[in-house]
Amino acid sequence: MTASARARELLATAALAADSKQGEDLVALDVSGPLPLTDVFLLASGRNERNVLAIADEIEDKLLEDLGAKPIRREGRTEGRWVLLDFGDLVVHVFHEEDRMYYSLERLWKDCPVLPLPVNSGAE
């Protein structure tokens, strides 16, 4: 399987929103093969808790404003260490940089294809 057109549209808007708030190391993974409930994971890092929350807020605002997409579920806003935004076809993970290294989702999903982003992700 491959990510749907809707998932890619959500991804492009979310990536630009994350980048606008200095989200770092953006990586998009096509998880449509192993996961039946979503198509794409977007991973982003923030330097501190305030930055993590600002990135998550901007993603949520832009997806609603530009595409009318509301999150089905959101978790982690209280701590600001790992915010998860579930938009159905797209699940966004915004991590504090320390938590991202610890949980290492890229390693867990290493067999999934990496999708191109409309921003310079800084991740090689």
Q: What is the pLDDT of residues 89-104, one digit of tens each?
A: 999 999 999 999 999 9
* Domain edges within the chain: 5-115
Confidence of residue 124 (pLDDT cuts 50, 70, 90): very low
Spell out the SS3 assignment of the chain: CCCCHHHHHHHHHHHHHHHHCCCEEEEEEECCCCCCCCCEEEEEEECCHHHHHHHHHHHHHHHHHHHCCCCCEEECCCCCCEEEEECCCEEEEEEEHHHHHHHCHHHHCCCCCEECCCCCCCCC
- pTM given for the model: 0.93
Fold of 5-115: Beta Polymerase; domain 2 (3.30.460)
Judge whether residue 51 has pLDDT over 70: yes
pLDDT tens-digit map of 82-91: 999 999 999 9
